[in-house]
Amino acid sequence: MELHGLDIIVLVLVGLTALGGARRGFVGEVLALFAWVAMIFALKIFHLPLAKALSGIVGTPSGAAVLAFVVLTGGTYLASRLVINAIARRTRTSVLGPIDRALGFGFGALKGLILASLAYLFVVLVLDTMGGGPTHRPDWLVKARTYPLLSATSASMADFVDRRRKGQPVFGSKPATAPKEATRHDEP
């Protein structure tokens, strides 16, 4: 079996995130997503007022904005991690512990695949921009065994974002468009 550098990087990334997911458990992994959502809400709601309050102390609006970002993300992350760790610890030590860890392993592997696909999108963007397009991609990329998986996963993610941006349904088939009625051009 021939593995390229990209294959090894992807396997290590997916393996490490899977092991981390097994260590934290499914409940911990899902609650960690809620921590990110809480961080986003905290930034959306409190960033501007906190930045305005800190601008007098810091002296510059950009410095106040950065400090407000750090305070909000750090504070929200710390508070949510304390709650998540307490809940996840109870789940891991309960009867459901082995199931929680097995599901956490799968969830972590999926998270690793998503991270690898996002990195692939960035690398392909840079290579295609600088190298002349998809036909000029380097061998270490196109000959990797994980190339088809990363390509398909990243294409699905890009399609998901594009359909969401256009207001189209993101799951299921694309909406059917009604055929245009034939028009008669012989009438005045």
Residue pLDDT tens, the chain, 188 long: 788 889 999 999 999 999 999 998 899 888 888 888 999 999 999 999 999 999 888 888 899 999 999 999 999 999 998 999 899 888 888 898 899 999 999 999 999 999 999 999 999 988 888 877 888 888 888 899 999 999 999 999 888 888 888 888 877 665 555 455 544 454 44
pTM of the model: 0.70
184 domain residue, yes or no: no
| Residue 18 maps to a domain | yes
Report the C-alpha gap between 90 and 71 in whole angstroms.
29
**Element of type H or E holding 140:** helix 139-142
Total of domains in the chain: 1
Task: Identify whether 185 is part of a domain.
Answer: no
Measured torsion, CA atoms of residues 179, 181, 186, 188, in degrees rounded to the nearest 10 = -130
Q: How far apart are CA 137 and CA 131, in angstroms?
A: 7
* Number of Cβ within a 10 Å radius of residue 25: 27
Distance CA 183, CA 121 (A): 45
Distance CA 8, CA 145 (A): 10
Domain extent for 65: 5-166
